[in-house]
Amino acid sequence: MLERPASGERAVIVQLDFGQPDIADQLEEVRLLTESAGGMVVGEVSGRRHSPDPKTFAGKGKVDEVAAMIASSDAQLVIFNHALSPVQQRNLERDLKCRVVDRNSLILDIFALRAASAEGKLQVELAQLEHLSTRLVRGWTHLERQRGGIGMRGPGETQLETDRRLLGNRVKLLKERLRRLSRQRGVQRKARRRGDVLNVSLVGYTNAGKSTLFNTLTHAGVYAADQLFATLDTTSRKLWIEGAGNIVISDTVGFIRDLPHSLVDAFHATLEAAVDADLLLHVVDSASNARDEQMAEVDKVLEEIDARDVPQLLVWNKIDLTEAAPGAERDEYGNIVRVRISSRTGEGLELLRETLAEYARAKAESRRKALDEAARLAQTDFYN
């Protein structure tokens, strides 16, 4: 895992309002993202705009305000909680004379910091290289000319073209390695699906408490912290449920607003645990003011990875912060659709276990009926 300075890099964060309803929550989120990356927020700049400035995203007046904040706070970098184009990022770094990081780069950096497994590291590297490929011009403009002169005559490529070609070769290699790992996972998942064990996957917005719940249920010791993206690598464990036997439960990477597409694509193999699950436990931070928006973002990513139709059970977590009572809610058909719990204190966990037992028994019954029907059809064919 990457090491960061104990004190952290001093950062000014920039959050512009383009008419979003949850601007305060977005500002708090970028603070957490910065701290999760090992940075220290020493200044904040905000403001309203009708639309982004094509050259600097923020406009000249706001850029001057950021420059003043850098000077007064002795900041080392500026973090925009927005996606910047390569041109905007280059112009901002030129005007501010300071390193500029956008939201996508920040999330990629946190992923690089957190990745622990070989597969996780491959996925992060792939996403970083694909992101970098659009920004190569920033580092190579001074070499963007044909090679020439003594010792410089060669294949007729510019340095920029050479670098892009080498980067493209590395991307192809990483994709092939991830495809092989995905095939291995596929074999393992098929073996699990052949049994009658219920497969459950934890999904939710980052920092909703998935890993804490996973550890509380399975005693797995997975890293859990009050940080964004504390978990990147999927971990699966067997869990004994009274009255239903063993189930398989998996902890997955958390989702976030405007998750870069390159990360969704790169982590597709890891997220397949959600695609192939019998049940998704959608863990929600019930104490968050932005919980509705966070739930919508999770559903958006689930749709993107073709997991939108997998049955969901809402797990209303952190009730210890809202003083809500533990409980379970059923729909008009009698199925439990939401359970209120606290994964930290353990309140409501028995209700969650009972709910998982219901789903496990329902799957076992469905499988038994399918086997009986298959046997009946086979017998009918035999006599006919």
DSSP H helical ranges for 22-144: 23-36, 60-73, 86-96, 103-114, 118-132, 137-140
Give the tens place of pLDDT for each residue, 163-186. Answer: 777 778 888 888 888 788 777 766
C-alpha–C-alpha distance, residues 39 and 7, integer Å: 8
The answer, yes or no, to whether residue 148 has pLDDT greater than 60, is: no
The sheet with strand 77-80 has its strands ordered as: 39-48, 9-17, 77-80, 99-101
Enumerate residues 6+ apart whose C-beta is below 8 A from 366.
none
Q: Which segments are annotated as binding site for GTP?
A: 204-211, 229-233, 251-254, 317-320, 342-344
Q: Which segments are annotated as binding site for Mg(2+)?
A: 211, 231
Q: What is the DSSP string of 321-353?
A: GTTPPPEEEE-TTS-EEEEE--TTT-TTHHHHH
In degrees rounded to 5, what are phi and psi of residue 17?
-105, 115
What pLDDT score does 140 carry? 41
Give the tens place of pLDDT for each residue, 178-231. Answer: 788 777 766 665 665 556 788 999 999 988 988 889 989 988 665 555 555 655
Tell me the percentage of the chain whose pLDDT exceeds 70: 80
C-alpha–C-alpha distance, residues 117 and 282, integer Å: 24
What pLDDT score does 222 carry? 58
Q: Which segments are annotated as binding site?
A: 204-211, 229-233, 251-254, 317-320, 342-344
Looking up tokens 């939108």 gives 308
C-alpha–C-alpha distance, residues 369 and 171, integer Å: 47
DSSP 8-class letter at 255: B
Q: Which domains does the chain have, with CATH numbers?
A: 9-101 (3.40.50.11060), 193-371 (3.40.50.300)
